[in-house]
Structure formats: structure tokens, C-alpha cells
Amino acid sequence: MSDSIYNFTSQTLTGKPLNLADYKDKVLLIVNTASKCGFTGQYEGLQELHEGFEGQGLAVIGFPCNQFGAQEPGSSQDIESFCELNYGVSFPISEKVDVNGAGAHPLFKYLTTEAKGILGSESIKWNFTKFLVRKNGEVYKRYAPTTKPADLVADIEKLLAE
């Protein structure tokens, strides 16, 4: 079987399996997140996308990462509490992962190969890099950390209509 977004797994912050195969036929928004980043306020926008489009087939999944300025130093419990208390996050959040380097989670190795960044770069430059995935599992587009979640609405609506 060739590489597919649906082959990847992780665990949630509470230790439950997080299998991307469970999201077949959904549009996926995969984001590397952090609790102490200048972009952390984007959790609010991600939650709004989750609430606004979940019923239409969008799944938002966060992947906390501590590789950029040590901006996600906490434990799984710390991250979960922070996201719930400060932003009311109810979409799935993975255990902390690396997104770059030899220890990068295989999902992020796949995503960065499928959707390269500026000047063909594969590495992720900072927290809140976003990847939008079509219902068929094809990686549609990569978005910079500075791209606000609300700026993805048109692309999400387009993919949901496919």
C-alpha cells in the first residue's frame, strides 16, 4: 500500500488512539500548535472552524510541538488544560510531536513532502503551520503560521463541496 494520509496514527493528549483512517471522506485541517507562541490565539479561530464546519465534514486536528522556541514545554495534561480553559478547544489534539528533523512524526514527514513551503522547503518554519487535506486524502495546500484560520474558509468550503 502506498503512502496515504490514512496510514498515520498518533495518540491524543489523554492517550487514546488517534488514527487518521477514522477521518476518511472528511476534509482535514492539520496544524502544529503551541501554547506559548505569538500565534497561540489562533486556537480560537481553529475552534470556530471546527464548530462551524464539523457538521459538513471538516476535521481539525492539532499536533503540539516544542521545537520552536520551546513554546510547548508542558505535559499532555498541561496542554489539554490550557486549550480547554483558554480557548474551549474540543477538536482532537495529539500528544506532543516533533515536526522537523530525524525524529519528526511520520505524518509531518509526509505532509511536508506533499506540500512544500516557500522556495520548495520541506521543513516547517514555525508553530501554527497548517495543512489542508481533501476528502480523498490528497494534501491540498500548506499555509504559513501567519495565515489566520478565518482565511482558510474559502478553501475549506471549496473542498467540502468536492
Residue numbers annotated as active site: 37
The H or E element that residue 27 is part of is: strand 27-33
Using CA atoms, how far apart are residues 39 and 59, in angstroms rounded to an integer? Answer: 20
Cα separation values, 157 from 6, 33, 44, 132, Å: 22, 23, 19, 11
Give 154's contacts (C-beta < 8 A, 6+ positions apart).
none
